[in-house]
A and B are shown apart, each in its own frame.
Chain A
Amino acid sequence: MADTAVGATTEPEHGGDPSRRDFIHIAAVAAAAGGGAALVWPFIDQMNPSADTRALASTEFDLTKVAEGQQVTIKWRGKPLFVRNRTKAEIAKAVADDSAAMKDPATDASRVKPGKDNWLIVGGNCTHLGCVPTFGGGEYGGWFCPCHGSVYDTSGRIRKGPAPTNLVVPDYAFLTDTKVKIG
């Protein structure tokens, strides 16, 4: 096997074919580095949600439990989710403000499902730094975040304070009139 190697050493002045000599070293180092890099992926990916966590990523919720003007906080993907059955007055207030100046403009209609505008389902974490806002605080009749004073209206839109965006509306669908599947 040794006889097939080119007559070269690490010292270039010894002669031989330097390009072929270098190639074998470069190839070996590159192969080792490539293998190392491939091994890193499992070590990183293991920190991503595991299969059992992913399997719980969607949840079904029975809306009959929420009376008009009430709100139920459910845990979804480890975080709170507000399911609010809005009153006529709350809806009217939110629609009336549709054209007001807002940090993150959105119409109320875009934040609910058509024909189901009493049901507002939003993520229960302030978009500032993740605290859980309380309902009924602040001057817009919606949510108020006690941590840094962000104020949301009855559509969950940011109206005042440091939060940059509206409360997040998750992907959800009505399975029946009284049942939603979230996620």
Chain B
Amino acid sequence: MSGHSTYQPKTGIERWLDARLPIVRLGYDSFVDYPTPRNLNYWWTFGGILSLCLASQLITGIILVMHYNPSAQGAFASVEHIMRDVNYGWLIRYMHANGASMFFIAVYIHMLRGLYYGSYKAPREVLWLLGCVIYLLMMATAFMGYVLPWGQMSFHGAVVITNLFGALPLVGESITTWLWGGFAVDNPTLNRFFSLHYLLPFMIAGVVILHIWALHVVGQNNPTGVDPKSKADTVPFTPYATVKDGFAMSVFLILFAFFVFYMPNALGHADNYVEANPLVTPSHIVPEWYFLPFYAILRAVPDKLMGVLAMFGAIACLFALPWLDTSKVRSMRYRPTAKIYFVFFLVVCIILGFCGAKLPDDPVIPHLTTFQLMGSDLNSFVWLSRVASLYYFAFFLVVLPVLGLVEKTLPVPDSIASPALSADAKKG
């Protein structure tokens, strides 16, 4: 952050290195002496947890590549070779497959935390945008990684997602053919997805470094949304934040281990244990859980092109967020009305995820037939996702811009130290 470095090289070697490459100084200033707001709660530990997820995915992924065979003929069998014959292969593959889900659990919590506490507002716009880029790269990586085992869901998921680009006018068909490297998803598609699946995580790692750099320039936000004013507002990163992050990581790992060892296939689809067959589509094709809300938005719109645009628009809203929210108050802790809309937003996201997993025309309430509207029964998941999608967009495009201008906010404390102390007293 700002201010001069307090790193004091002790030994001669440290002084020698510091004069040539001040890497120890960088590490010291960033992760030891770095002033951290003293009031950070557990929601702030997910940055560290996400670093752990990225590291875990990179290591297990590089290992899996040592045994994986990226060809339409050999991919499925090589994954089973990993599961059956490679020493600890089952562990490494289950860690990688479930690690992707854990990564998304953590990133969604991290994003919602930023949304609630206004971490995207000035001067943290670039920090937020970099985070959105990471999220986009994560989605691309996860999608292409899911194709690699070359099971039925891999194959037909790839077919459906690449066909989305076919919705684009004029160029759509050329783009899908170009993506496939043929006239259908086949060996060339698998090979390029494999190449990109290996490349993108390193791009994620690069953007993560920028993300952390931007964080260290503007400093961490905190639950009050008030910038630290004096030394009384902060504590050094080590040991205060490191030990808290460490504890949170350990608890997160319990959840991770529970999935890996006791329900390793619960987050996947049984159909992916059937080798890809271009001639038969699984009866019910759904993406992985972390894409379900967007999938629901896609299906909510009856027109193919508009559906694709709505889906990408849902992500674009995140990018525009710093300029959509007009409120001068950062943290929703002091915005009681915004808080209510936020809780609704959270519920809507979960509803969208639920709709994404259901067949569009299935009734929400069983055995209840109402009336047809736009070709579908009102009591159907497609209508539920339409209503939910509407709220999703309204939250970003109407609620946040308008509410910031009209709402009555609670008094914001002058500094971090004062409310933190009083809140503590209340709790005790």
Asked if chains A and B are in direct contact (CB within 8 A), the reply is yes
A46 at the interface (CB under 8 A from B): yes
Majority secondary structure, A binding face: helix
A30 at the interface (CB under 8 A from B): no
A5-29 CB contact bits vs B (8 Å, 1 = yes)?
0000010000000000000010010
B78-108 CB contact bits vs A (8 Å, 1 = yes)?
0001001111110110000000000000000
Q: Is the CB of A43 within 8 A of B59?
A: yes
Q: Is the CB of A10 within 8 A of B239?
A: yes
Q: Is the CB of B86 within 8 A of A50?
A: yes
Selected from B63, B81, B92, B243, the residue in CB contact (under 8 A) with A50 is B81
A-chain residues with CB within 8 Å of residue B425 when the two chains form the complex: none
Task: Name which residue of chain B comes closest to A10, CB basis.
Answer: B239
B67 at the interface (CB under 8 A from A): yes
B59-70 CB contact bits vs A (8 Å, 1 = yes)?
100010011000
Task: Name which residue of chain B comes closest to A40, CB basis.
Answer: B59
Q: Is the CB of A46 within 8 A of B246?
A: no
Q: Is the CB of B87 within 8 A of A45?
A: yes
Selected from A32, A42, A52, the residue in CB contact (under 8 A) with B85 is A52
Which of A10, A42, A45, A46 is most buried by chain B, counting CB atoms within 10 A of its CB?
Answer: A46
Q: Is the CB of A50 within 8 A of B66?
A: no
B-chain residues with CB within 8 Å of residue A42 when the two chains form the complex: 87-88, 91-92
Q: Is the CB of A47 within 8 A of B84?
A: no
A-chain residues with CB within 8 Å of residue B67 when the two chains form the complex: 46, 50
A-chain residues with CB within 8 Å of residue B88 when the two chains form the complex: 42-43, 45-46
Selected from B63, B81, B246, the residue in CB contact (under 8 A) with A43 is B63
The range of chain A's interface size is 10 to 19
A54, B91: Cα distance in complex, Å: 20
A-chain residues with CB within 8 Å of residue B92 when the two chains form the complex: 42-43, 46
A-chain residues with CB within 8 Å of residue B84 when the two chains form the complex: 51
Q: B residues 258-279 with Cβ under 8 Å of A? A: none
A-chain residues with CB within 8 Å of residue B85 when the two chains form the complex: 50-53
Q: Is the CB of A48 within 8 A of B87?
A: yes
A48, B63: Cα distance in complex, Å: 12
Task: Name which residue of chain B comes closest to A42, CB basis.
Answer: B88
Task: Name which residue of chain A comes closest to B90, CB basis.
Answer: A42
A136, B91: Cα distance in complex, Å: 51
Q: B residues 212-267 with Cβ under 8 Å of A? A: 239, 243, 246, 250
A45, B66: Cα distance in complex, Å: 12
The chain B residues found within 8 Å of chain A, CB to CB, are 59, 63, 66-67, 81, 84-89, 91-92, 239, 243, 246, 250
Q: Which 4 pairs, one residue from A and one from B, show the smallest C-beta to C-beta distance?
A: A42-B88, A50-B85, A51-B85, A52-B85
